[in-house]
Chains A and B, each alone.
Chain A
Amino acid sequence: MAADPSVSQNEYGWTPDQPLIRLVDVHKAFGSLQVLRGVSLDVRKGEVICIIGPSGSGKSTLIRCINALIPVDSGTIRVEGQEVNDPDLDKLALRRKVGMVFQQYNLFPHRTALQNVMMAPVHVLKQNRKEVEVRARALMAKVRLQGKEDVYPGQLSGGQQQRVAIARSLAMRPDVMLFDEVTAALDPETVKEVLVTIRELAEEGMTCILVTHEMGFAREVADHVYFTDKGLIVEHGPPADFFANPKDERTKAFLGQVL
């Protein structure tokens, strides 16, 4: 209502100088299994953060809570000021701001690559099909898949499928992208082509949250690295610091194993 004209405030009272995503003391249990035990973190606009940690430490759960794929038990998650843990959450509004890419690509196998990219803007955002198509073709080119527009996902390699998945998410023009171990299912040779795409996105200023096992990549692109273990953030810091002198024993043990 009474917005300060000097800062552009969105409907939730959020201004771009505040963290784009803010998690405070998030808890989540599956039955008796405590998966998140009080996670807090901030992500600023344009920042790239990497979450690393051993298997089962709750990384996927954490990232899925951010776009409300999984409801949290307690704590707050705000995306551009919008409270995610709200029973009346406008999921559509949230999910058009938050893009997500999965380990298993999860492309729609009955639609061509281009249709995969176009579907959500056309049917969810009800945008003009012609305009969406122009944009979708540009996105296909951006992920270096020109000429593969009319190919079905089953005929693409894993790396190509994953890049279509990235383009599909970008077509919604999200403000933040979530990547959940997106290279974990790929052959070593195709990992690079996907990482290149993500790095370009990061360089363009896209806010990214990456769960990854690619330590070299994390060190290179991340502004901030978080290490999770058993549902807690054990340690975090800028990558140079984090990888050079980890302080916590668990971080040391983990890095000792993977590096």
Chain B
Amino acid sequence: MIRDTSAPAAPAHPLPVLLPFRLTAPQRRFPPLRLTLLHALGIVGLGLLIAGGAHAQAGVNQLSAFGVIIKWFPLLMSGFLFNILISVLSMALGTVAGVGLGLASISLSTPLRRIAWGLTQFFRNAPWLVLLFFAMFMIPFEFRIFGVTIPFPDWVKAVIGFALPVMANMSEIVRGAVGSLPSGQWEAAESLAFSRRQTMWMIILPQCLKRMLPPWMNLYTLVTMATVQASIVGVTEMLTLIAQVHAAEGGRPDLLAPLYGFAMLCFFIYCYPIELWTRRLERRFHLHQ
């Protein structure tokens, strides 16, 4: 009655998870900085090398690769910001839906649990690009509710398309985190007459937040990098713009590497700190387990 059937009544976990949260051993607040710099320098260096090489090959009247990037920098950045916007919105939508799905997958109602499990597995095991296509072609370009027409431009559909796998992964993150709490928390709450809903929202989920954060951030970097797939379905994000810039500059083959290298650098600069931070949180959580 307290636990869901998927987590069989294990005899109350012994101490590990309840161990006092000690703030011992002064840790380095940040992971070694050297590594970050080295990585970034490496990439910039590589870019310079490619750009320099490209410059050497360039004709007299042609802009250098650098020049091209600088010339189109505002446009490319607006594209990149669009990628980030898509990633943030998909993540928000997917997180909310995923928490709902995750909670349904541990509910006491068997049909609800089955459905949630099915949805989770389905969307978790489908390629993201397929889900994106699925969203692009299944969702109408506008909705009519109470006589109000709500347009659904391509980029909104893309947001939904990316939110689907986020939802499924989030559902698993929630289920895993809830299952990892010692059963004593449920028992204590139950013996204090908390309802299941109160127990979940006031006692279980707040404790799960810490556990869910690293995998959630990890998921976010994955979504961010996946957003470039939106170019395939015609959303004008960074990769689409790069192709357009390339065409506008006469389709010079020597520009391909620098331009795409620049895109790579943008994503790297954005995602790598998140990645580092995630690892730091993970390590800290590990230390306190």
CB distance from A87 to the nearest CB of B (A): 12
Does A109 sit within 8 A of B, measured CB to CB? yes
Evaluate contact between A110 and B207: CB separation under 8 angstroms.
Answer: yes
Evaluate contact between A109 and B21: CB separation under 8 angstroms.
Answer: yes
Contact bitstring B187-211, A, C-beta under 8 A = 1, else 0: 1111111110010001100110000
| 18 additional contacts (CB under 8 A) given A100-B191, A104-B12, A106-B188 | A69-B2, A71-B1, A95-B191, A95-B192, A95-B193, A102-B184, A102-B188, A103-B12, A106-B187, A107-B188, A109-B21, A110-B206, A119-B202, A123-B194, A124-B195, A154-B22, A155-B20, A172-B192
Contacts known (A119-B202, A123-B202); A108 close to B188, Cβ less than 8 A: yes
Interface centre among B2, B15, B21, B187 (most CB of A within 10 A): B187
Please classify how large the interface on chain B is, using the bins under 10, 10 to 19, 20 to 34, 35 or more.
20 to 34
Interfacial chain B residues near A92, Cβ < 8 Å: 193, 195
A203 CA to B195 CA, complexed, in Å: 32
Evaluate contact between B185 and A106: CB separation under 8 angstroms.
Answer: yes
Interfacial chain A residues near B192, Cβ < 8 Å: 95, 119-120, 124, 168-169, 172
Evaluate contact between B184 and A104: CB separation under 8 angstroms.
Answer: yes
Interface centre among A95, A98, A165 (most CB of B within 10 A): A95
Contacts known (A106-B185, A152-B21); A67 close to B191, Cβ less than 8 A: yes
Evaluate contact between B193 and A124: CB separation under 8 angstroms.
Answer: yes
Evaluate contact between A108 and B203: CB separation under 8 angstroms.
Answer: yes
Contacts known (A96-B193, A104-B12, A104-B184); A109 close to B18, Cβ less than 8 A: yes
A96 CA to B193 CA, complexed, in Å: 7
Contact bitstring A100-136, B, C-beta under 8 A = 1, else 0: 1011111111100000000110011100000000000
Evaluate contact between A106 and B207: CB separation under 8 angstroms.
Answer: no
Interfacial chain B residues near A123, Cβ < 8 Å: 194, 198, 202
Which B183-241 residues have C-beta < 8 A from chain A? 184-185, 187-195, 198, 202-203, 206-207
CB distance from A151 to the nearest CB of B (A): 11
Which B25-51 residues have C-beta < 8 A from chain A? none
Interfacial chain A residues near B185, Cβ < 8 Å: 106, 108
A226 CA to B8 CA, complexed, in Å: 31
CB distance from A34 to the nearest CB of B (A): 17
Evaluate contact between A106 and B184: CB separation under 8 angstroms.
Answer: yes
A247 CA to B14 CA, complexed, in Å: 36
Does A144 sit within 8 A of B, measured CB to CB? no
Evaluate contact between B22 and A120: CB separation under 8 angstroms.
Answer: no
Interface centre among B2, B187, B193 (most CB of A within 10 A): B193
Interfacial chain B residues near A192, Cβ < 8 Å: none
CB distance from B23 to the nearest CB of A (A): 9
Which B1-25 residues have C-beta < 8 A from chain A? 1-2, 12, 14-15, 18-22
Evaluate contact between A172 and B207: CB separation under 8 angstroms.
Answer: no
Interfacial chain A residues near B202, Cβ < 8 Å: 119, 123
Contact bitstring A168-207, B, C-beta under 8 A = 1, else 0: 1100100000000000010000000000000000000000
Interfacial chain B residues near A142, Cβ < 8 Å: none
Interfacial chain B residues near A172, Cβ < 8 Å: 192-193
Interfacial chain B residues near A252, Cβ < 8 Å: none
Interfacial chain B residues near A104, Cβ < 8 Å: 12, 14-15, 18, 182, 184
CB distance from B142 to the nearest CB of A (A): 44
Q: Which residue of B lies closest to A105 (CB)?
A: B18
A125 CA to B190 CA, complexed, in Å: 14
